[in-house]
Structure 1
Amino acid sequence: MGSAVLLNGIRGHASDVDGPVVVIALLLLLAGFVAISSASIDYALVRESNALHYSNRHLIYVALALFCAAVVYSVPVKFWFDTGWIWLFVSLILLSLVLVPHIGRGANGSQRWLAIGPLTLQVSEFAKMFLIIYLAGYLQRRQVEVRSEWSGFIKPMAVVFAMTLLLMAEPDFGATVVTVGTAFGMLFLAGVRVGHFMAVALASMFALVILVISEPYRLARLLAYRNPWEYQFDSGYQLTQSLIAFGRGEWFGVGLGNSIQKLFYLPEAHTDFVFSIWAEETGLFGTTLILSLYLMLVLRILWISRRVAALGDLFGAFVCQGVALVLSAQVFINIGVATGLLPTKGLTLPLISYGGSSLMACCCMLALVLRIDHHHRRGEGVTHGR
């Protein structure tokens, strides 16, 4: 049903749509549905008295995400170029509303969600996309200034700093890292001077270190990350259980549905640590398959970026680069956390993790990439005026 919604929203001939991006995205969505259904079945049975509760909700999220993607795909690229500053303004307003008592919703010590009718949206997921659109337009308009003047670099970083303050007030350290990293990556690829880049990058890294050591719970996670087995019944509990899941998976896994760690050893295994259950049930073969799909998706998006840049559309190229950076960062952080490569931090695995906001944002970003590619396949020219 979800794929039919997407296909009905796509205009033009099938040859105008980049098949590899669509196929890889749908395969990841399918893998996510299978992984979440398996990881959540016992948890849902105990908590909701319905073994398929989270599976059904996730399927609804997938359908809604594909519908949103179809809407984004139907919008001309020039619209996003002309309105980038509006979407940035919208994202800052929404991130501010999240912090207002009785408007924003909190959970587990964080206030990150807005209730819109029956939906609860995590605003930071959409703020990443809006920032990419704004930065892509800015980098296209201010190419010379960005590459030669301090002001061209500092202006967008001031915007990123404002967004970072709002994200840390929630607090959402994971989204902050992804947002800052994506902005730096886009500016670097746009040709900013290395000296300017390194100066601000080092200052930002120093600020992140201060943020980590200034909060006891973040410091505890860092200590647990260094030696999780020393804190296996405290702050290192999730990580040690995740590592056990990876160890049990071996080469080909214990089989779909046969995970032991999902039986309340790994807390809420269908959320941020769903990849651990997938690893346990499918082994090295299954994890390599998912990583290969992500690699192919990112490389394909970068290929589209390079192609549209060669056609003179820098805005489209920068958008594609930003989407590739966001997806790469989230995959690296989520899997890095699950495998003990990085300190524990809640961050969704694109197109796989449970949650409507993440699915909708990821599908919308991919739809924007597809629309940019479609724009040039039909020979409509660059997306901006000269």
Structure 2
Amino acid sequence: MSLEKTMTLARTVSLETTQVISKTLSQVPVPPLPEWINRFMAGSNQYGANAFDRSFIVLGLTMYMVGLVMVASSSIPVAERIFNNPFHFVIRHGIYIGLSLAVAGVALQIPMSWWHKNSSYLLGFAIVLLVTVLLIGRSVNGSTRWIVLGPITVQAAEPAKLFFFCYLSAYLVRRREQVMENLKGFIKPLIVFGVMAALLLLQPDLGTVIVMFVTTFGLLFLAGAKLWQFIAMALVGATSLGMLAYFEPYRWRRVTSFLDPWQDPFGSG
């Protein structure tokens, strides 16, 4: 079997697997949701917003609860020693959960067509955020990643990453034929990625760059880009990330500690 046929088969299997997982999750028995959530969901569908599966809501809430328990179990002694309140970090994390649920509720009321239509504006806002954090952001341990908004600290890379994925998804829907047949169509989103990656590396934030690179690679794969383009992208990406890690001592220590944690068990290991 040729590599092109293998890639096509892999895309087909990926899509079919996603459909099977979605169908399986929809068949999992889910406990009844509170009435106010049901009304919220009905209102969402009434105004043409995104339909969503109750199973995913339950999974998301479960992850929230597990995260809250983990924060509590790991932070109570530290909070007691520093703030004389063992639940300081638990309360703060709970506030963040409430805010995130409110934002999610607003986002679910927005039709998918709105995200598609305004993806270019969202990308522009993402770039503005990344430039702003470099100019007025708060620096911690040599990294400038946070914008302070009163009592709230926002990591600019998180909304910027989301808006970039909105833009990329909309671009691949609009220009899928160009991505599949034209090198220019394949390179355009990579140029946008390169600009955002450069801004992120100035913070520096290599972790977010890696997440964005892998996600971009996957989306282009699903969009049907050619095999040689993937090979070139993988080689350039792996070489660039390797050089970025090797020439920055603290990043390279993380790599060596991962490969041999007993080399420095009480430090980086």
**1:58 corresponds to 2:93:** yes
Equivalent positions of 1:1-386 (< 5 A) are: 9-10=40-41, 11-12=43-44, 17-100=52-135, 103-236=136-269
Deviation digits for residues 270-326 of structure 1 (CA, Å, limit 9, x no counterpart): xxxxxxxxxxxxxxxxxxxxxxxxxxxxxxxxxxxxxxxxxxxxxxxxxxxxxxxxx
Unaligned runs of 5+ residues in structure 1 are 237-386
TM-score by length of 1: 0.57
What is the CA–CA distance in structure 1 between the aligned matches of 2:222 and 2:151, rounded to whole Å? Answer: 40
Q: Partner amino acid for 1:175?
A: T
Paired residues of 2:80 and 2:86 also in contact (CA < 8 A): yes
Deviation digits for residues 217-275 of structure 1 (CA, Å, limit 9, x no counterpart): 11122222221112112221xxxxxxxxxxxxxxxxxxxxxxxxxxxxxxxxxxxxxxx
Instruction: Name the SS for the 1:95 alignment partner.
Output: helix
| Larger relative contact order (CA 8 Å, sep ≥ 6) | 1
Q: Partner amino acid for 2:113?
A: K
Paired residues of 1:98 and 1:111 also in contact (CA < 8 A): yes
Unaligned runs of 5+ residues in structure 2 are 1-33
TM-score by length of 2: 0.82
Deviation digits for residues 125-151 of structure 1 (CA, Å, limit 9, x no counterpart): 112211111011101111110001110
What is the CA–CA distance in structure 2 between the aligned matches of 1:99 and 1:162, rounded to whole Å? Answer: 14
Give the alignment's Cα RMSD to 1 decimal.
1.9
Q: Partner amino acid for 1:134?
A: Y
Paired residues of 1:6 and 1:67 also in contact (CA < 8 A): no
Q: Partner amino acid for 1:178?
A: V
How far apart are 1:60 and its partner, in Å?
0.6
Q: Partner amino acid for 1:115?
A: V
Paired residues of 1:5 and 1:70 also in contact (CA < 8 A): no
Query: What number of residue pairs does the alignment pair up?
Result: 231
Q: Partner amino acid for 1:125?
A: E
Q: Partner amino acid for 2:238?
A: M
Percent of pairs identical after alignment?
37
What is the CA–CA distance in structure 2 between the aligned matches of 1:232 and 1:36, rounded to whole Å? Answer: 24
Q: 1:206 to 1:12 in 2, by over 3 A?
A: closer
Instruction: Name the SS for the 1:99 alignment partner.
Output: helix
Paired residues of 2:44 and 2:109 also in contact (CA < 8 A): no
Larger Rg: 1 or 2?
Answer: 2
How far apart are 1:107 and its partner, in Å?
1.0
What is the CA–CA distance in structure 2 between the aligned matches of 1:72 and 1:48, rounded to whole Å? Answer: 35
Paired residues of 2:44 and 2:108 also in contact (CA < 8 A): no
Q: Partner amino acid for 1:107?
A: V
